[in-house]
Amino acid sequence: MFVLINLKAYPCDPVEIAEIAAEVAETTGVRIAIAPQAADIASVAQIGVETWAQHVSPVEHGSHTGSTLAEAVSRAGADGTLLNHSESRLRLADIDAGLRAAERANLETIVCANNPRQIAAAARLDPDSVAVEPPALIGTGTPVSKADPQIVTDSVEAASGVPVLCGAGISTGEDLDAAGKLGAEGVLLASGVAKADDPRSALEALVDPI
């Protein structure tokens, strides 16, 4: 199981969480990655933890003020990028262009989607993985694996062999275990670790079932 922790724009210390993630990953052998703000990618990557961008823009080098260039996050140390998170939605054509940008920069990709129908469309664009995240459950502490397990199983079927991650409301080891039993190959979470009073304990408890 792959565990990707999205720090969003939460008021946490990205380096501290990166250090915790690196230590837990080394101790447990679990693949754990951190997705910090773009400005924090370099400092997080220097810790040695797998580092992802929260987004890259569907652009090439050129006149694109305010864009997040895939090559720039790669130079900063990112290993991969999320695309189309529900808080940073893209049109289908821009998802495709974002994937091509990530490919140019040798970044691994996860395309987020709301439901199995969108998962099917995203999977046809050939990302490395897709993540199903019903927006209504994000940040609620209620995982989709409990609220509506069929969304996960249907997404796995719709992805046609593209690995599926389970997001929205993931916060415990029980959630991670349930996602795996439904066919997910990883989880995408944020507040369960980034907003935890004790991020180390939260992360250790999360990966304990693996």
Q: Known catalytic residues?
A: 85, 133
Three-state SS string over 49-110 comes to CEEEECCCCCCCCCCCCCCCCHHHHHHHCCCEEEECCCCCCCCHHHHHHHHHHHHHCCCEEE
**Tokens for 75?**
């130079």
